[in-house]
Amino acid sequence: MAAAGAPDGERSGPAPGKAVVEMLSALGTGAYVVDASGSIMAVNAAAERLLGRSSAELVKGDAHDLLHRNSEGEPIPRVRCRMRPAFMARSPAQADLEWFERGDGSLLSVSWSLTPFDAGGDDSLVLVLFHPRGEFPLPSEQPAPEGGLLKELEKLALLAEMTTQLTSTLSADEALQRLVGLVLPRLADWAVIDLISERDEVWRSKVVHMDNGSLVSRRDLEGPMAPVPAESPMPLSRALRGVASTIAEPQTYEGSPDTGIAVEQRRLFEATGMHSAAIAPIRGLRDVLGALTLGRSARPEKFTAADLTLLEDITRRAGLALDNARLYQRQRKVAETMQRYLLPQLPRVAGLEMTSRYLPAPDASHVGGDWYDAFTLSDDATALAIGDVSGHDLDAAAGMSQLRNVLRSYAWSQKEPPSRIVERVDRAVLRITDVPMATLVFATLAPDDEGRWTLRWTNAGHPPPLLVTHEGVARYLTEGGGILLGTGTDRPRSDASEVLPPGSTLVLYTDGLIESPSHPIDEGLERLRRHAAALAHRPVEAFTDELLSRARPDDNDDDVALLALRIGTLARP
């Protein structure tokens, strides 16, 4: 089969997915796929042969302009095209007599059928199947045999849609919901999904049926199941062991149940009224992940052995999606656990209320670079740090740990201003760590004899700290700025200082709290400032939670670290 033949740089639309290419390859007659604008996205080898045109000549071209002709070989106005109304309405259609123009200008008398399908993304695609007239009759001329041309086309379109729908999410729950929506009501009246957990526990995750065009869950039939039996010959037990796909009926479970699973199966048939069910294993790459049951209660047709082939194709795709989702969740858990263990416990300091938050990125691969730190120094001052190591992976998390340890060592051993400490850290980043680049705010906070708290800080390319007074006046501390770490430039850094009034709140944060792909950073800074001012009277824990909830952009795709301090008063002896 010849897929889209134009180079990627020349194509007007996205390349067809692998599932679409496989679908076309599997068809034995001429076929091509068009997008929402009517442009040909891909063709198969049979279409190239019948039309006498290469894929390079067809792909990207408008199918109507290239192919559709009347019996005299003249172009057909779009308003008179019989394919056009079905194409615009995204509904199946077929015709017995049309003319396509071949590459040499001759005409090919064809019969065609058109089937829309969803291949993922914003637009659906349309699959056009054609053959020389008289070579294969269309279903309108005589009934299609079991597994005939139109039925096979519908199956391929369903499998293509299922592949794109299931593999485009990394949420197991979302994948299962999409699976149910794809098989109901096309194939059955009921869909039942039983899953085996990583602890080998069986859970009836979904029992869903169609009711007045809507998917309705039977929660009373869902829940824990008995363990998978090692020897039971009953259909679901065999499927959960990965042995075979099977047709089942109520009579299958009328006898004395041999296991707890058989008890639940009898209950399922009684409660749903299913008279026929097809059951197939859901297999992952290494293990059996569960089983899918399709049941019919309203429609009279029973499942046959031929239906099991399609059901197994479906469960193979479901198994791949569930495998990917479980791998993603394991990766995410490892990344989050590593990040949380690397972040410190906050010290208790008289006269200060201190709290922190860390929110992982929505994508597990984005976990890693954001961090905070707070620790007491030998002169009883409190060191504060917030930073972000470039990168979004476990390497960034490891680099963050290295940077934090270097900073702690210098801050504890060198009695120097924050700017000098960060200069030392910057040189160390280049020589003894794996950190490529990083941003950092490093500060010290100490009380004087009058009980006033003075903040001294330097900023290495990080978003500025935010100071919010008890009266709700919020402003950014923009002084003390300098270049980020790891650039190799040896520029001197500056310090800044500020007396923090009683009741004020200092907020140190990373850019995930203010940056958004759809809005400039100035909008994020202003949004954070306004919400912080409005929350000034809240207790520091509530202040922090509400600030994260309100200020974090909806389309944020980065992790967020936040350190907040409320300035109190020192008890006088």
Query: Based on the number of CB atoms within 10 Å of its own CB, is 346 exposed (0-12), middle (13-18) or buried (19 or more)?
Result: middle
Q: Where are the beta strands (DSSP E) in 118-245?
A: 125-132, 190-196, 202-211, 214-217, 223-224
Residue 9's pLDDT band (cuts 50, 70, 90): very low
- Whole-model pTM: value is 0.52
Residues 6+ apart with CB under 8 A from 504: 467, 468, 469, 470, 566, 567
Kindly report the number of other CB atoms within 10 A of residue 452's CB atom: 15
Q: What is the mean pLDDT of the chain?
A: 83
Cα torsion angle, 347, 348, 354, 356, sign: positive
DSSP H stretches of helix in 93-226: 149-167, 172-183
Residue 134's pLDDT band (cuts 50, 70, 90): very low
Q: Which two tokens stand for residue 280?
A: 């197939």
Question: What does the alpha-carbon distance between residue 52 and residue 47 come to, in Å, rounded to a whole number?
Answer: 8
Query: Based on the number of CB atoms within 10 Å of its own CB, is 517 exposed (0-12), middle (13-18) or buried (19 or more)?
Result: exposed
Q: Is the pLDDT of residue 187 over 80?
A: yes
Compute CA distances 226 → 253, 264, 391, 393, whole Å.
16, 9, 45, 40
Residue 199's pLDDT band (cuts 50, 70, 90): confident
Question: What does the alpha-carbon distance between residue 352 and residue 383 come to, in Å, rounded to a whole number?
Answer: 13
Measured at the CA of 545, the angle between CA 544 and CA 551, to 5 degrees, comes to 85
Question: What does the alpha-carbon distance between residue 250 and residue 538 come to, in Å, rounded to a whole number?
Answer: 61
Task: Write out pLDDT tens, residues 500-540.
Answer: 999 999 999 999 999 888 888 999 999 999 999 999 999 99
Three-state secondary structure along 23-48? HHHHCCCEEEEECCCCEEEEECHHHH
Residue 125's pLDDT band (cuts 50, 70, 90): confident
Residues 6+ apart with CB under 8 A from 362: 556, 557
For position 8, what pLDDT does the model report? 38
Task: Write out pLDDT tens, residues 52-108.
Answer: 999 999 999 999 999 999 888 889 888 888 887 777 776 667 776 788 999 999 998
* Closest to 295 (Cα-Cα) out of 326, 324, 270: 270
Question: What does the alpha-carbon distance between residue 304 and residue 277 come to, in Å, rounded to a whole number?
Answer: 9
For residues 169-177, give the mean pLDDT: 85
Q: Is the pLDDT of residue 10 over 60?
A: no
> Sheet harboring 474-476: ordered strands across?
352-359, 560-567, 505-509, 466-468, 474-476
Question: What does the alpha-carbon distance between residue 507 and residue 231 come to, in Å, rounded to a whole number?
Answer: 62
For residues 49-53, give the mean pLDDT: 92
Q: What percent of the chain has pLDDT over 90?
A: 43
Q: Is the pLDDT of residue 28 over 80?
A: no
Question: What does the alpha-carbon distance between residue 124 and residue 160 come to, in Å, rounded to a whole number?
Answer: 12
For position 401, what pLDDT does the model report? 78
Q: Is the pLDDT of residue 178 over 70?
A: yes
Higher pLDDT, 424 or 147: 424
Cα torsion 130, 133, 135, 139 to 10°: value is 70
Task: Write out pLDDT tens, residues 146-168.
Answer: 433 346 667 777 787 787 778 77
Question: What does the alpha-carbon distance between residue 553 and residue 155 come to, in Å, rounded to a whole number?
Answer: 42
Segment (H or E) for 272: helix 260-272
Q: Note the residue count of the chain.
A: 573
For position 18, what pLDDT does the model report? 64
Please identify which residue in the block is written with the tokens 């749903």. 272
Measured at the CA of 142, the angle between CA 136 and CA 148, to 5 degrees, comes to 60
Of the segments 119-123, 265-269, 489-493, which one has the largest average pLDDT value? 265-269
For residues 426-443, give the mean pLDDT: 87
Q: Which two tokens stand for residue 276?
A: 């026929």
Which structural domains are found in the chain, ordered by start? 8-164 (3.30.450.20), 169-331 (3.30.450.40), 343-567 (3.60.40.10)
Kindly report the number of other CB atoms within 10 A of residue 472's CB atom: 12
Q: Which two tokens stand for residue 562?
A: 């936040």
Residue 142's pLDDT band (cuts 50, 70, 90): very low
For position 84, what pLDDT does the model report? 78
- Is-contact 184 210, C-beta < 8 A? yes
* Of the listed ranges 133-137, 252-256, 316-320, the one predicted with least confidence: 133-137
Segment (H or E) for 278: strand 276-283
Task: Write out pLDDT tens, residues 384-409.
Answer: 999 998 766 666 767 777 888 899 99
For position 151, what pLDDT does the model report? 62
